[in-house]
Amino acid sequence: MSDRTLLLRRGEVHSPADPFATAMVVEAGHVAWVGSEGAADAFADGVDEVIDLDGALVTPAFTDAHVHTTATGLALTGLDLSGAPSLDAALALVRAFAAARPADRVLLGHGWDAARWPGGRPPTRAELDEATGGRPLYLSRIDAHSAVVTTALLDLVGGELPRADAPLTRDAHHAVRKAAFAAITPAQRAEAQRTALAHAASLGIGSVHECGGPQISSEDDFTGLLEVARELPGPRVIGYWAEQDVDKARELGAIGAAGDLFADGALGSHTACLHEPYADAGHSGTAYLDADAVAAHVIACTEAGLQAGFHAIGDAAVAAVVEGVRAAAEKVGLARVRAARHRVEHAEMLTPETVAGFAELGLIASVQPAFDALWGGEDGMYARRLGAERARTLNPYAALLRSGVPLAFGSDSPVTPLDPWGTVRAAAFHHTPEHRVSVRAAFTAHTRGGWRAIGRDDAGTLVPGAPADFAVWRTGELVVQAPDDRVARWSTDPRSGTPGLPDLTPGGELPRCLRTVVGGRTVFVRPGE
């Protein structure tokens, strides 16, 4: 928190306290005042710094409610195959990357998606061995639930791991990922963490919810990240530890034994747990936790005063979580369970019954609209895995909001990139029209929603007394944008009292971050501003 006082003026301040505010005062790390340009003169002489906004927009900083920070940093410094148009192109990129990083103990990459390549097959181990010159390589699929590796990495793991060419999933995947990340030096890891947090700050992100866990990273990685965040000016890091050990989560500094505590896997890897079999596979995925295990964990967390939470994607997994949380509420009391704000991450395949269950039990839906942008639509991965009819039911944000379920938006970076305005756009222009929400509702889910998901109702909005976490944006005309095409655009009517937001119609340019401030301290300024 900064002790410096700031006056921002001559802009547009997005505040429910004053929908026409053009100025804001920050004092002791909190918003002290918002109001009009005329009144700002009275503050000008008593502050440490005056920032002339020159017409820029000021909004609350974004919260990304689901991030894997080290993996994000390693993706930024490592090999990104998400743009590779073919297998041959991917192998060429691996070859160039290996040549460019001769000192790395292990080569790391992510983002490949064979379903988007001609022929639809991932690289073989022999092809990767040749491309790397026999060095250890870990390449995770775009959904991060399976990976292809080299022989040298399998040798590092030892034991009886499969030596076939198929991508490794489940326990075998966890083993190679653990070996790959164990080979990273502490210096490499800290560099990746700093890189990820600096990148987040440059996008107007003021907080990230780190979803760590023993199957995802390591205890050292988690505590190291929290230490880096304490020492460096940058986004706040709120840690979740995905283990059914409440004492361990608390010991590591997590605010919840939650995040990616896997109830199932992912749709892309055919490991999300479904009620009915996949359209393109003869099975219905994998359940990692049943309702009894969910109930036991929720009871333990509720009694310890910690959040519980689960990764649940398939409809059967989501139903098991709801059933388990309901059983926990019968044991410890519905009011206590609701007050704890337990979380469900991803929650992609919902039914009217599970939506109602979320509302009844006070569950937070921590969701990623970019998943629909990437995998939705008639020809997307969802439709291939599930068939078009089931695919159209996925990510029903409007139904969740109508039922009173709190939404917190995130990216699951590096599964999809940190991209807050793109995330808001993805929710407002969902592939399935009935699931769309207004830009205002989506923006709220990506700002205030992330704070509410950690139990804070006093933040994520620019009103006096709130933490001074905000971002300054260069953008075009502000509009009020609703999901219905008939009322999709209109300029803000002064009588409505509704502050405008950038026009996010697909194809248009997204706002550009000029400055990010966390707790009154500037953590990013765009060069030249």
pLDDT of residue 487: 40
Helix or strand holding residue 340 (H, E): helix 334-340
Average confidence (pLDDT) over 172-192: 88
Average confidence (pLDDT) over 218-234: 95
Q: Tell me: the pLDDT tens digits for 310-327?
A: 999 999 999 999 999 999
Torsion of CA 95, 198, 203, 522, to 10 degrees: -160
Q: Tell me: the pLDDT tens digits for 75-100?
A: 898 899 999 999 999 999 999 999 99
Q: Structure tokens of 494?
A: 């002064």
Q: What is the DSSP letter of 262?
A: B
Q: What percent of the chain has pLDDT over 90?
A: 85
Q: Same CATH topology for 5-60+462-475+511-525 and 69-183? A: no
Q: What is the DSSP letter of 83?
A: T
Least confident of 171-180, 246-255, 308-317: 171-180
Residue 258 to residue 513: CA distance in whole angstroms: 31
9 sits in the region (left: phi over 0; alpha: psi -120 to 50; else beta) called beta
Q: Mind giving me the DSSP string for 288-320?
A: SS-HHHHHHHHHHHHHHT-EEEEEE-SHHHHHH
CATH class of 69-183: alpha beta
pLDDT of residue 370: 98
Tell me the average pLDDT of the chain: 94
Contact in structure between 276 and 246 (CB atoms under 8 Å): no
Residue 125 to residue 270: CA distance in whole angstroms: 21
Q: Tell me: the pLDDT tens digits for 441-462?
A: 999 999 999 999 999 999 999 9
Q: How many CB atoms lie within 10 A of CB 428?
A: 25
| 134, pLDDT greater than 50 | yes
Q: Structure tokens of 435?
A: 């699931």
pLDDT of residue 187: 81
Q: Tell me: the pLDDT tens digits for 91-133?
A: 999 999 999 988 888 999 989 999 999 999 999 999 999 999 9
pLDDT bin (cut points 50, 70, 90) of residue 489 is very low
pLDDT bin (cut points 50, 70, 90) of residue 495 is very low
Q: Under 8 Å CB-to-CB from 495, ≥6 apart: which residues?
A: none
| Sequence ranges of the domains in the chain | 5-60+462-475+511-525, 69-183
Contact in structure between 144 and 114 (CB atoms under 8 Å): no
Average confidence (pLDDT) over 370-397: 97
pLDDT of residue 490: 42
| 492, pLDDT greater than 60 | no
Residue indicated by tokens 């919902």: 350
pLDDT of residue 484: 60
pLDDT of residue 188: 83
Q: Specify the CATH architecture of the domain 5-60+462-475+511-525.
A: Roll (2.30)
